[in-house]
Every structure is written in C-alpha cells, then in structure tokens.
Chain A
Amino acid sequence: MIRESQLFEPFTEEPISVMNEAGEWVGGFDLDLEPETLTRFYRDMLRARVVDERLGRLQRQGKVSFVAPGGGHEAAQVGIAHAMRAREDWLYPYYRDIGLLLALGLPLVEIVGQSLGTSADPAKARQMPYHPGSGEFNVFTVASPIASHVPPAAGTAISQKLAGSGEVTVCTFGDGATSEGDWHAGVNFAGAQGAPAVFVCENNGYAISVGMRHQTGSDSIHVKAHAYGMPGYFVDGMDVLASYYVMREAIARARDGFGPSLVELVVYRYGGHSSADDDSRYRPRAEVEQWKRRDPLTRFRRFLEKRELWDDEREAATLQELGDEFTAAVKQAEEAGVPPVASMFDDVFADLPARLRKQRAELLGEG
C-alpha cells in the first residue's frame, strides 16, 4: 500500500539525493525547513564528529576500552534522529549510533559515562563502551549480537499498533546485520502485521572486513524489502537532507497506519570497524580517501554557506563549544565514580534470589 502525496519512489536505481556535492538543492520540491533547523542539523553532525574523535582519543589514552568509529555516518544518523519524535517514538539502535543518540537528545554525560563505565551511565556500567540505551528516551539498550534487536523492534511496533498509540519504532543496523536470520524473522513479522516500524540500514559497505560482494547476492539492501511486502528506499546517506526527508516520509507512512518500510542509507565508515580493527588489511587507502572527498559535513556546510547560514567564524566557535562540552562531560562522568562491586548482583531479577545473595556474600568476603 502506497500513500498519496509521497515525495519519494521506492526501489530506485540510484540513491535518492536532494543536495549535490556542490551543496546545491536538487530536491525538486520545496525545502520546508527553517534556517535554525538547518543549522541545528549541521551542529549535530559536527557534534557527532567531535564526540567520535574525542572518544577515540580516550580509547588511545586507555580510559575507554573500545570505540566503534562513526565518522562518515553523521548525515544519516542526524537525518534519522530529526525525523523522529524524541521520547515518543522508540529507537532500537546499534553500536555505531552514538551520533544518532546525541542528536535525539540523550545527554552527552550519559553517553560518555557509558563508555567510561561510571555511574553517570543510567545502565549502571553493565555493558562495554558504545552500548548505551535510555528508558527516558525510549532508546532500547544496544546489544552486541548482530540483528538480535530486530525481532524485539518488531514486537514493540506490533504493540504500538495494538495500542493505537500513534508511535513509531525505528530500528537501525549495519549491512552485515541483514544476513542474520533474526533480521529476516523480525522484518518479516513486522511486514505480516503491518506494524509501524522503519528498518534502517546504515550501509557502509563493510561488516568488519567483509564487503557487500561477499555479504549478499543482492546488489543492494533495500531490494530485500520486496520479499516482506514493504517499500524499500535507496538513499544517499552522505546527504543529510535526503536522509531526513526519506526518513520523515517513512515514519509518517508508519504513523498513519500504512505499515513498515526499509530504508537503506548509503554511507562510508572512515575508521576501522572498531578500535580493535586494522582496516588497512582489507581496504585500499585510495578508497577511503575517495569517500572522504564526499564528506557529508563538507557538503552540507557548502549548502549552508550558499544561504549565508554558516561561515568560518561560526565553525570555529561551535568547535570550541563542542570541545568544551566534551571536556566538561568527561569530568562530570568521571566524578560520578565507578559503581560498587556489590552492584553487579543487582537487576538480574526484580528481587535478589537466595542463591545470588549467597554468591554476593562469598564474593565480598562476607560468606
């Protein structure tokens, strides 16, 4: 079922783009975003990049055990976040989505606290870095097993449909996730139920080292939507406005009861898969440099500069502000301290069973 008055066609041959490399609007429809919204998008992209670089630095200093670099994903993630209703819609993210979570409004100190493993993390430092979540923002806590959050996302969307809540569930993942059985099980169930879900692939072309050619026989990810009775959108994920507008349309479609969709945002991962990866073993440097020339921040900055919404002075001031914000967040997160050892026994169940009470006493030397 396709809604009327839609801006975008599913299953296009080429990725949907509304802004060219020169930063010119080529959308073919009226841009309806206020100047403050446009600069907010850019600021959130810049913030994602600054936080990514600074967390990387903390990792190299040994303060953070692991990072999953998000450079190159900023336009896609900021586009997704701003198409959602924060605290109302639900998000099932994956580990590379720090920029998305920040743009959605999660406090920086919580994100930093999560990666530092301190009590600034609302999840009590139970998970490795880059695995945040937020009950307050309806952001399902990130899990490592790839695509294992997809069936739960389908379930939340089905629950939203049953409740007639008007909420939408957005579920993000990388290209590798689409090979997992759980991905297909979850997307298929959402399709069968016509649930208000938007499945979003941040396709950076690599699952650690394995490229698309070895990941799937499909030429692209969005075509898999055919199999589940939903539209599949093919989008230039380095174009923040294309990412935003397509997500906005897919979310509106779901909210209005027309069912789920699959959105493929084509991006590139500038860094390795993680701080434990050496991407020079499988990616030619020329390829990385070629993609960096298409940088989503540079492109969008050109767009803003043409409208006199941004300049060198604002850039420098914003970078200073974001750097200071990060420094302050680290300080605050560190001051929160590490959760006490005994807290590792909390939240296994609502109540502490006798056996765990005994194990806690033994571990603390009281038994």
Chain B
Amino acid sequence: MSAVTMVQAVARTLDEEMARDPRVVVMGEDVGKRGGVFLATEKLFDKYGPDRVIDTPLAEAAIVGAALGMAVHGLRPVAEIQFADYVYPGFDQLVSQVAKLRYRSGGQFTAPMVVRMPAGGGVKGGHHHSQSPEAHFAHTAGLKVVFPSTPKDTQGLLRAAIRDDDPVVFLEPKRLYRAVKEELDDDPDFALPIGKAAERRRGDDVVLVSYGGSMAETLRAADALVEQGISPHVIDLRSLAPWDEEAVLSAVARVGRVVLVSEAPHTASFMSEVSATIAEEVLDALLAPPARVTGPDTPYPYAQDREYLPGPNRILRAVQRVLDY
C-alpha cells in the first residue's frame, strides 16, 4: 500500500467504512460528483450512488439536523461542513439537538454521527476560511471532539468516530491535508481510541503539547531544540473531548516545564483548560508556570496569514522563558 495524504486518508477511510456498513452515508455540500471541495469524498459518489453520498442544499442547519434525524432512524451519517467557519448556522443543531439527544431523551434516542470539518489557518483564506472553533465544541457536554494531525491518525480516529455510538465533531487541519504522506494501516478494523494522545517524542527538559495544524510547527520547534541540545517531550493530543489528561499530567509531573501550542485564539481556548488542569493537578511538580503559545485574540487576518499562526520562533521563545524561569 502506498503512502497517502491526510485528505486521501479521509476518503479511503470513508470508502472502507461505507463498504463495511451499509448504514454509513456521507452528506454535505458538493460531496457528490464534485467529491468535496478538498476531494475528501472523491470517487464515493461513483461507487455508492446518490442514496449514500448525498449532495445537500447549501444549509448547514439542514446538514447537521438532517444527519441527526437519519442517525435517530438507524443510519450512521458522516456529514461534511465545507469549512469549520461555516458551521455556525448548524451550531444550534449541534449544541441544542445533537449533543443533548441521548441525555434529554434518557437514552431513548441516540446520535451516532460524525460531523467533519476542515479547520485552521495557513491557506490565505481570511477569517472565514481559517478559524479554529474547537473550544466551542469541547465546551458542549455530549460532543466528542477529535483533531488529528497525521494521515494514519486520521484513518484510525475517523474509523473510531464512525463506529462510535455518540456524536463526534471531527476537525481536520486543512493546511496539513496534503503536507505529508504516510502509509495507512491495512487492517480494515484499525481504529485509534478517542481520548488517547500520542507521544511524538520522548524527552526530559520541556513538554510541548499541541494538536491539529499546530503540530507541524511544534515538531519543527522540537527539532530546533534538539539541535540546541535541549530534550523536548512532545504530545499530540489528537482528541480534545475527552482529552488524555493522564498523558499530559504524567509528562508534566516528570519534566516540570510545559509549553502549550495552539493556533486557536488565546482567551478561553482549549489550551486554557489544559493549563488550568495542570495547575490544579501537578502544581507542586512545576518548575515554571505553564506557557501558552496561541493565536492572538483578533479575527484571523488575511495579509498576516502566516504570522497569526504560532510559528517555531514563538514556540522557542516560550520554551526559553520556561527554561529560564
């Protein structure tokens, strides 16, 4: 099996799951003949036809809400929101209906469905094609939130999301869609547990925690640290709800220094939660306050597309601060 990109991993996993389970349907804007604007549903329409690859009206509330109604009736819909920035008309459906259905019906109805959405910046798309809305979803009880950064993790986590009996918001870092290629797992049941982080590098001097698109810059910063003779420990969260507290807290307790990297805006971001948990749970082990390197609290700009993102230099400066503390 040859190596594939992240977006190809999405298409291949959808194909494998649709072949395995006739309840799995794909729906969204342009997912049919067009194969999705990023080609995440390429060739599925030809293979499975319009009943299982459904081109929807241009209405995110209809996409998310109808996916819920299909899930309630026995299907396993995988809905695509073309850009995470466009999810807001469907946000009420996610928050009021999808997230709460199992709870408010006392388990009489459930919502086994996935809402996929390309997220994050770095593609010169301005604020309406670049945002990172994951904190909204992580803040909503009843939703699982996944944000992988590699093709193989995408394969394993998307499969787990489709097979999950609860709704999963599946964010895909669009600037990494075609950044790297990786061999996928040939096992048709290969799945990664939602809520489990990955250790990308083992080290002793500073813990770097990130996820999604910012993993690329975090790993580049880690390489630079190694060249300087500093030993970084790198964690890719992969899932935000639930998130792997054990992996983060044990590493931070051992190392004593931590830098949290995410391109999402700083205030009330997901890394705020990670930082607060570290402070609550392992304060005594800290040799320096946790440092966050994030996007600024501005709308995502157009001309400063790259500068908005936490790049290796900003990460390295933060590492220096926690080392010098």
Indicate with 1 or 0, residue by residue over B60-73, a CB within 8 angstroms of chain A CB atoms.
01101111111111
Give the contacting residue for B57; candidates A133, A150, A185; CB below 8 A. A185
Interface hub of A151, A163, A169, A189 (most chain B Cβ within 10 A): A151
- When chains A and B are docked, how far (Å) is the Cα of A349 from the Cα of B77? 18
Give the contacting residue for A350; candidates B61, B67, B166; CB below 8 A. B166
Known: A188-B62, A349-B142. A155 touches B165 (CB 8 A): no
Indicate with 1 or 0, residue by residue over B25-55, a CB within 8 angstroms of chain A CB atoms.
1000000000000000000000000010010
- When chains A and B are docked, how far (Å) is the Cα of A127 from the Cα of B109? 14
- When chains A and B are docked, how far (Å) is the Cα of A148 from the Cα of B91? 11
- When chains A and B are docked, how far (Å) is the Cα of A350 from the Cα of B144? 11
- Interface-side segment among B96-104, B211-219, B292-300, B308-316: B96-104
Known: A162-B51, A355-B242. A182 touches B61 (CB 8 A): yes
A257 to chain B, nearest CB (A): 14
A141 touching B105, Cβ below 8 Å: yes
> Is B93 in contact with chain A by the CB < 8 A criterion?
yes
- When chains A and B are docked, how far (Å) is the Cα of A157 from the Cα of B97? 17
> Is A124 in contact with chain B by the CB < 8 A criterion?
yes
B68 touching A155, Cβ below 8 Å: yes
Residues on B with C-beta less than 8 A from A182 are: 61, 65, 92-93
- When chains A and B are docked, how far (Å) is the Cα of A141 from the Cα of B97? 10
Q: Give the bracket for the number of chain B residues in contact with chain A.
A: 35 or more
> Is B229 in contact with chain A by the CB < 8 A criterion?
no
> Is A140 in contact with chain B by the CB < 8 A criterion?
yes
A135 touching B105, Cβ below 8 Å: yes
> Is A168 in contact with chain B by the CB < 8 A criterion?
no
A155 touching B59, Cβ below 8 Å: no
A169 to chain B, nearest CB (A): 8
Give the contacting residue for B70; candidates A126, A150, A158, A349; CB below 8 A. A158
A124 touching B106, Cβ below 8 Å: yes
Give the contacting residue for A152; candidates B25, B68, B100, B110; CB below 8 A. B68
- When chains A and B are docked, how far (Å) is the Cα of A22 from the Cα of B156? 69
| 8 Å CB interface, A143-191 against B | 143, 145, 148-160, 162-163, 169, 181-182, 185-186, 188-189
> Is B89 in contact with chain A by the CB < 8 A criterion?
yes
> Is B108 in contact with chain A by the CB < 8 A criterion?
yes
A135 touching B62, Cβ below 8 Å: no
A350 touching B165, Cβ below 8 Å: yes
- When chains A and B are docked, how far (Å) is the Cα of A124 from the Cα of B110? 15
Residues on A with C-beta less than 8 A from B93 are: 148, 151-152, 182
Interface hub of A158, A163, A192 (most chain B Cβ within 10 A): A158
Residues on A with C-beta less than 8 A from B144 are: 349
> Is A121 in contact with chain B by the CB < 8 A criterion?
yes
- When chains A and B are docked, how far (Å) is the Cα of A353 from the Cα of B51? 35
- When chains A and B are docked, how far (Å) is the Cα of A298 from the Cα of B102? 41
Of chain A, the residue at the smallest CB distance from B95 is A145
> Is B231 in contact with chain A by the CB < 8 A criterion?
no
Residues on B with C-beta less than 8 A from A186 are: 61-62, 65-66
A189 touching B66, Cβ below 8 Å: yes
**Number of A residues contacting the other chain (C-beta, 8 Å)?**
47
Give the contacting residue for A148; candidates B25, B59, B66, B92; CB below 8 A. B92
A122 touching B106, Cβ below 8 Å: yes
- When chains A and B are docked, how far (Å) is the Cα of A153 from the Cα of B68? 9
> Is B75 in contact with chain A by the CB < 8 A criterion?
yes
Residues on A with C-beta less than 8 A from B276 are: none
B142 touching A148, Cβ below 8 Å: no
Residues on A with C-beta less than 8 A from B51 are: 162
> Is A134 in contact with chain B by the CB < 8 A criterion?
yes
Of chain B, the residue at the smallest CB distance from A125 is B106
Interface hub of A154, A155, A169, A186 (most chain B Cβ within 10 A): A155
A185 touching B59, Cβ below 8 Å: yes
A352 to chain B, nearest CB (A): 10
Residues on A with C-beta less than 8 A from B74 are: 159, 163
Residues on B with C-beta less than 8 A from A317 are: none
B166 touching A151, Cβ below 8 Å: no
Residues on B with C-beta less than 8 A from A192 are: 57
> Is A347 in contact with chain B by the CB < 8 A criterion?
yes
A332 to chain B, nearest CB (A): 18
> Is A342 in contact with chain B by the CB < 8 A criterion?
no
> Is A123 in contact with chain B by the CB < 8 A criterion?
yes
> Is A1 in contact with chain B by the CB < 8 A criterion?
no
Indicate with 1 or 0, residue by residue over A318-355, a CB within 8 angstroms of chain B CB atoms.
00000000000000000000000000001111100111
Of chain B, the residue at the smallest CB distance from A145 is B96
A9 to chain B, nearest CB (A): 28
A155 touching B106, Cβ below 8 Å: no
Known: A127-B104, A148-B65, A159-B73. 15 other contacts (CB 8 A): A124-B106, A126-B106, A148-B93, A149-B97, A155-B77, A156-B72, A160-B73, A181-B61, A186-B61, A186-B65, A189-B66, A347-B102, A347-B106, A353-B242, A354-B245
- List 10 A-B pairs, minimum CB-CB distance, nearest first: A151-B65, A155-B69, A155-B66, A135-B108, A123-B106, A152-B69, A124-B106, A185-B62, A159-B73, A156-B69
Could you give 18 example pairs across A and B, Cβ below 8 Å? A126-B105, A135-B108, A141-B101, A143-B96, A143-B100, A148-B97, A151-B68, A152-B66, A152-B93, A155-B73, A158-B69, A162-B51, A182-B65, A186-B61, A188-B59, A189-B62, A349-B102, A350-B110
